[in-house]
Structure 1
Amino acid sequence: MTTGPSYERVYNRLKAAVPNWSQLLKMDLTVLKALIGDAGLANQKAPRMVAIANQLARDFGEVTLEPLQRMTDRDAETFLTTLPGVGLKTAKCVLMYSLGRELLPVDTHVARVSRRLMLVGDAPSRLFVANLEPAVPPDCRYDYHVNVLQHGRELCRPMRPKCPECPLWALCPSAGYSQRQSNAG
């Protein structure tokens, strides 16, 4: 996981060194790994970044996401998930953050908080993710994602959630569950 401050620092360093994404096509992997190293997993991410740049150049004639603007959400997601190391969550993040699409990326924090709030029941993971996006109005998805992600990191943590500090305490069907479990044992 890359935290917000780490992401910003690494992204700014990368953009200063690589102002045009096409430069990734000829960049030495050792240099790229050093640029992104403190974001974590540089040995995996750097080769994927170069592979993605190469695929974009092959498919679009240059290293750009511009052609995705003309695609439907579904087609853009499908294309992005063909890129090395890009799953559905990452594809939705790219589409939401970079292209302004009203989609809902679901990471572990968003899934955990949404499950605890019982927004779409207790469906299996794949079905849960598919049902969550339609449950959040399109114009609220960006804010929901950003705020619930932060809420999941700070308060609604996987172990020992801080239920008494939670502003959703009175509304949450799962509020106090961890305290009830520890008192029962």
Structure 2
Amino acid sequence: MGAGRVHRLPDRPAQPAHAGHGGGAAVCRNATPAGAQPGPGCDRHRPLQVNDRHGHEVGDVALRHVAEHLRAACRGSDLAARHGGEEFVVLWDGLDAAAALAAGERLRALVAREPLHAGGALIPMTISMGVAAAGGGDRSFSDLLRRADEALYIAKAGGRNRVEMAG
């Protein structure tokens, strides 16, 4: 698995040995990390706005900005990876649902607290996340990702800059 050119994280994680088996893994899937809007904030859920307003180079810097936060939030057995387009996945090993939700909220708050300085602009950043803890109903890593993705869409529909736990 090679590192992505823009964000320096591995692309699409293979199924880790601890994913989807027992209650020890949690996946945090987040939407894209930035986006310029007029007014109070930016929201990575609208990445073309960053590219349109600040250029593609700044859009790439925005991806790296969030990727660095993801990588910093990982412990030795955790994995942060790009998961297509401008989405990322974080696999936290050994966290139950409550701890995974708390870790996701800490990461969301960190990104929101640290705006991006790029292209002569100060760009506020937000992310939304869907979190799913591995459970008995997950037959595969794909099941775990699907549940995290469903929670992500709930977070985005609820106003973005949120963390939602999969049911």
Q: Which has the larger radius of gyration?
A: 1
Question: Which structure carries more relative contact order (alpha carbon 8 Å, separation 6+)?
Answer: 2
Query: Would you tell me which structure has more strand in proportion to its own residues?
Result: 2
Q: TM-score, normalised by structure 2?
A: 0.31
